[in-house]
């Protein structure tokens, strides 16, 4: 007989041996006090910590308007949607949320999913499948969910070197003009904090007649005059066919979405099994997300404070001689380069300094580029930044971690498919 | 140049021509008054309707304890989780929810996903991929999400005829003993309302050394002494290796989960990209779901009233000569057998009788078996059942719909892969 338990235990032991077995920290956020939270260790002892790795980038998850929208809608409409979108689940706040998202990106239509992962998987796979003989051009560092969408479609794919427009052009030139083409990329790459050359990609798409699909998950709410993302900031939203985003990061709630023209959205709505066969997002969540989006359309204060604290953090850590990776955005990665050491650094920060920064290891980043990924928010005070610097300097000394500024360019031949983001 | 807009418009037009283009009804539930809701038509006119097709089977989405749990947790912890499970998203209410689910099914461990669709896709694909040379035995009528998990795994599969244990035995006998095997099926099939021969399947699994995976999505909360599902009711939970369920139907909230031994859950937790790369469920949702689960563990009143109203509905509709399909559960399908007619019946119920029952068509059910699918809840009063009967009789007469009791057995050769459930 097969030893099933043994098979699964061995699979997990393999991760332990590679020092990349993940233990999830048990955290209780305190509304009104974020980024402060309560941490519970394995023995259920509690203490206060400061979170420095949250993807609630602007702290909108505790914004009073957003909390109130959830509470009021739960009181009025109840807690769940009660069905799939087709089977009684299309609730009023969800209809309003989709209108708010279409307006945010100046598109005809928008469609909400339960997560950013599902929106990428469902939208890419469905769009590609509906185009006969389609070929997908996918950035080498695209997120795991985009890779899954590409695979799921079953269509031919070409991987272009990360942000390499010349390589993308080469690949496009090699394909017949009449074939449908989809170029899929991210505006902000979440583990390095670099951004895509959106204009150059849109120019290529126009030249070669390709559809463009951009994942703005790490940008919506945070960039652009109304929080529409990098494409809005650069005046390029109308040159992108499909904008994908999340409600779970800058907007602080949960869920994912696409915004596009009516024909594309209606086709995904009508054909994607991940969408059709899933219970709709609860009204209270939709109302909370919409409150957050609408607030950030008109309020620029969060974005300004965010950028200020990000610059301060980068500067203070760099001045302290820490290996801050060059990043154009709000993501501040510190290279460690070793799975065991990055775990030790994270453990020490938590146990000795009450600072929580999750180690980032394979498969989220390539092996040998393990790192601490720091995400300052508008709610991290200058004092917290100073305490962070002090703690990191102490940990770097105690563990004798490398201080050289890392070389982040990948070699030309390094065309791996690395899923990122978890 | 490719006419992209035309491609997507044509894809959607094809659905219109087949009369299966779906228009989502825009519904606003009213907490405390479910199944009454407010319906908005295309011109934004509002009126009160009665929902007769909700998957909030017990009305737990408006239970005061469940609403209070969401409100209180939103006030205390805020609205979002702030990250993936690994990156600061593992919140205290989520940890407690997983304990509550493991206890519900008497398993060592449980793992929560954002939806039932994702839990099936991620768990089946990951479990199968981790077992070298695995072969999957899948019921012919399994849900679209299970089919997607099977495909995603890339492993060999055998489809057994719906609920046909003799056929499953044949297929098992033809495979070498030493190969890992996974038998995947549902306890309640949601479109016909029939149940699986769980004991016979568990016996076969034991005889041939296979793992068993059961989807209890349409049973949890509603069957068994504590709401553990059909397997609990029949005393078979410990003979099933992996129990998959949802928080969105009987429990009235949203999200999906698996419960299994620690090794299996840890392996899925560690390897499934759909899990790793997704923001964790918000604390307020987790607290609401847990309140619902814990309430239904000790309260049997909802289950008793539910079964009473289901029996009453079946009996009254059958007595009125309506074509009620034979169902062993709380799902009451009325066969129509034609895409155009089922849509016309649904439209007439809504426009003339203020009763909302979504038409169910392909791909949710096979073509030619289009139906109205009625789901009585404990909150549908006897008067509502009488009004439903009257409305249906009127619609059946007006549209001259068939009254014969349908033949539901599929022919032996009819081995299609029909995704169901949306």
Closest-CA distance, B117 to chain A, in angstroms, reads: 6
pLDDT tens for each residue of A137-161: 999 999 999 999 999 999 999 999 9
- In chain A, residues with a C-beta closer than 8 Å to the C-beta of B117 are 118, 273-274, 277-278
pLDDT at A407: 54
A148–B86 C-beta distance less than 8 A? no
- In chain A, residues with a C-beta closer than 8 Å to the C-beta of B1 are 177, 209
From A213, A214, A232, A212, select the one nearest A222 (Cα to Cα). A232
Of A7, A87, A152, the CB nearest to B55: A87
- In chain A, residues with a C-beta closer than 8 Å to the C-beta of B253 are 79-80, 282
pLDDT, tens digit only, all 422 positions of chain B = 899 999 999 999 999 998 889 999 998 889 899 999 999 988 889 999 999 999 999 999 999 999 999 999 999 999 999 999 988 899 999 999 999 999 999 999 999 999 999 999 999 999 999 999 999 999 999 999 999 999 999 999 999 999 999 999 999 999 999 999 999 999 999 999 999 999 999 999 999 999 999 999 999 999 999 999 999 999 999 999 999 999 999 999 999 999 999 999 999 999 999 999 999 999 999 999 999 999 999 999 999 999 999 999 999 999 999 999 999 999 999 999 999 999 999 999 999 999 999 999 888 899 999 999 999 999 999 999 999 999 999 999 999 999 876 554 443 333 333 334 45
B181–A82 C-beta distance less than 8 A? no
Of B12, B31, B118, the CB nearest to A270: B12
Neighbours of A398 (CB within 10 A): 12
pLDDT at A420: 41
Any idea which residues of B carry the catalytic annotation?
A: 249
Closest-CA distance, B84 to chain A, in angstroms, reads: 6
Exactly one of A107, A157, A181, A249 is catalytic; which is it? A249
Token reading at A363: 């498969």
- In chain B, residues with a C-beta closer than 8 Å to the C-beta of A241 are 4
Interacting residues of B134 by C-beta distance below 8 A, sequence separation 6+: B128, B153, B155, B156, B179, B180, B181, B182
Under a CB-based contact definition with an 8 Å cutoff, are residues A258 and A110 in contact?
A: yes
- In chain A, residues with a C-beta closer than 8 Å to the C-beta of B143 are 277
Interacting residues of B230 by C-beta distance below 8 A, sequence separation 6+: B187, B188, B195, B196, B198, B216, B219, B223, B224
Neighbours of A207 (CB within 10 A): 11
From A358, A353, A331, A328, select the one nearest A343 (Cα to Cα). A358
Under a CB-based contact definition with an 8 Å cutoff, are residues A25 and B88 in contact?
A: yes
The average pLDDT across A181-186 equals 98
Token reading at A92: 């009023």
Size of interface A-B (CB pairs under 8 A): 363
Distances (CA, A) of A126 to B8, B302, B404: 11, 40, 39
B358–A86 C-beta distance less than 8 A? yes
B90–A254 C-beta distance less than 8 A? no
A60–B25 C-beta distance less than 8 A? no
Closest-CA distance, A111 to chain B, in angstroms, reads: 12
A278–B86 C-beta distance less than 8 A? no
**Pairing verdict, β A371-374 and A359-360:** antiparallel
Closest-CA distance, A391 to chain B, in angstroms, reads: 19
Backbone angles phi, psi at B38, to 5 degrees: -105, 130
Measured CA angle at B113 (ends A218, A350), to 5 deg: 60
**Closest residue of chain A to B374, computed from CA coordinates:** A87
Measured CA angle at A166 (ends A161, A168), to 5 deg: 55
The average pLDDT across A100-124 equals 98
B254–A81 C-beta distance less than 8 A? yes
Interface test with A, best of B3, B8, B260 (most A CBs within 10 A): B8
Of B61, B82, B281, the CB nearest to A78: B61
B31–A78 C-beta distance less than 8 A? yes
* Cα–Cα distance, B35 to B135 (Å, whole number): 44
- pLDDT value at A211 more than 70: yes
Q: At what angle do helices A283-298 and A92-104 cross, to 10 degrees?
A: 30
Which residue shows structure tokens 């005829």? B161
Closest-CA distance, B323 to chain A, in angstroms, reads: 21
Interacting residues of B89 by C-beta distance below 8 A, sequence separation 6+: A55, B81, B82, B83, B279, B280
A62–B270 C-beta distance less than 8 A? no
Token reading at A198: 């959106």
* Cα–Cα distance, A138 to A404 (Å, whole number): 32
Under a CB-based contact definition with an 8 Å cutoff, are residues A295 and A289 in contact?
A: no
- In chain B, residues with a C-beta closer than 8 Å to the C-beta of A10 are none
From B228, A43, B227, B225, select the one nearest B214 (Cα to Cα). B228
The average pLDDT across A81-108 equals 95
Closest-CA distance, B397 to chain A, in angstroms, reads: 25
Q: Which residues pair with B195 in a beta bridge?
A: B188
Backbone angles phi, psi at B61, to 5 degrees: -65, -15
Interacting residues of A319 by C-beta distance below 8 A, sequence separation 6+: none
- Please give the helix or strand (H or E) that residue A105 lies within, else none: none
Token reading at B147: 């089919």
**Closest residue of chain B to A176, computed from CA coordinates:** B1
From A30, A27, A35, A37, select the one nearest A58 (Cα to Cα). A35
pLDDT at B406: 55
- In chain A, residues with a C-beta closer than 8 Å to the C-beta of B90 are 24-27
- SS3 of residue B228 by DSSP: coil
Residue B68: exposure state from Cβ atoms within 10 A (0-12, 13-18, ≥19): middle
Interacting residues of B169 by C-beta distance below 8 A, sequence separation 6+: B204
DSSP codes, B27-72: EEE-TTTTTEEEEE-TT--EEEEEE-S-S-TT-GGG-HHHHHHHHH
From A306, A298, A252, A285, select the one nearest A60 (Cα to Cα). A252
Share of chain A above pLDDT 70, in %: 96
Of A4, A26, A421, the CB nearest to B95: A26
Under a CB-based contact definition with an 8 Å cutoff, are residues B24 and A85 in contact?
A: yes
Closest-CA distance, B315 to chain A, in angstroms, reads: 24
What's the pLDDT band for A410 if we cut at 50, 70, 90? very low
Of A31, A90, A356, the CB nearest to B78: A31
**Closest residue of chain A to B176, computed from CA coordinates:** A1
- In chain B, residues with a C-beta closer than 8 Å to the C-beta of A28 are 77, 91-92, 283
* Cα–Cα distance, B18 to B11 (Å, whole number): 11
**Pairing verdict, β B36-40 and B371-374:** unpaired
Q: Would you say the C-alpha torsion A242, A327, A224, A298 has a positive or negative sign?
A: positive
B261–A5 C-beta distance less than 8 A? yes
- Please give the helix or strand (H or E) that residue A66 lies within, else none: helix A64-77
Backbone angles phi, psi at A30, to 5 degrees: -120, 110
- pLDDT value at A219 more than 70: yes
């Amino acid at each position: 007989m097969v030893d099933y338990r043994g098979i699964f235990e061995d699979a997990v032991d393999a991760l332990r041996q590679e020092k990349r077995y993940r233990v999830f920290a048990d955290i209780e956020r305190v509304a009104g006090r974020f980024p402060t939270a309560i941490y519970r260790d394995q023995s259920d002892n509690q203490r206060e910590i400061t979170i420095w790795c949250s993807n609630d980038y602007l702290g909108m998850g505790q914004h009073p308007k957003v909390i109130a929208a959830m509470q009021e809608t739960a009181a009025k409409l109840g807690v769940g949607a009660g069905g799939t979108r087709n089977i009684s689940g299309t609730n009023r706040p969800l209809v309003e949320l989709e209108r708010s998202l279409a307006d945010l990106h100046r598109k005809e239509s928008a469609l909400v999913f339960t997560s950013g992962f599902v929106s990428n998987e469902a939208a890419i796979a469905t769009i590609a499948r509906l185009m006969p003989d389609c070929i997908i051009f996918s950035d080498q560092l695209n997120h795991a969910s985009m890779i899954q969408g590409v695979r799921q479609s079953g269509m031919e794919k070409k991987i272009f070197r990360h942000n390499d427009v010349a390589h993308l052009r080469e690949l496009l030139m090699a394909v017949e003009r009449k074939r449908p083409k989809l170029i899929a990329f991210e505006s902000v790459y979440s583990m390095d904090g670099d951004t895509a050359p959106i204009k150059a990609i849109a120019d290529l798409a126009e030249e070669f007649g390709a559809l463009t699909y951009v994942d703005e998950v790490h940008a919506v709410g945070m960039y652009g005059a109304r929080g529409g993302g990098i494409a809005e900031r650069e005046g390029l939203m109308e040159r992108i066919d499909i904008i994908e985003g999340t409600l779970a990061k800058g907007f602080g709630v949960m869920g994912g979405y696409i915004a596009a023209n009516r024909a594309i959205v209606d086709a995904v709505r009508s054909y994607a099994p991940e969408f059709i066969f899933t219970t709709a997002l609860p009204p209270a969540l939709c109302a909370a997300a919409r409150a957050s989006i609408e607030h950030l359309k008109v309020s620029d204060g969060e974005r300004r404070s965010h950028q200020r604290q990000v610059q301060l953090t980068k500067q203070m850590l760099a001045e302290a001689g820490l290996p801050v990776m060059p990043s154009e955005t709000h993501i501040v990665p510190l290279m460690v380069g070793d799975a065991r050491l990055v775990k030790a650094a994270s453990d020490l920060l938590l146990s000795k300094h009450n600072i929580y920064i999750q180690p980032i290891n394979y498969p989220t980043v390539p092996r040998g580029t393990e790192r601490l990924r720091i995400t300052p928010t508008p709610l991290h005070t200058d004092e917290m930044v100073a305490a962070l610097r002090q703690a990191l300097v102490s940990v770097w000394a105690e563990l004798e971690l490398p201080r050289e500024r890392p070389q982040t360019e990948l070699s030309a031949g390094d065309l791996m498919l690395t899923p990122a983001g978890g």
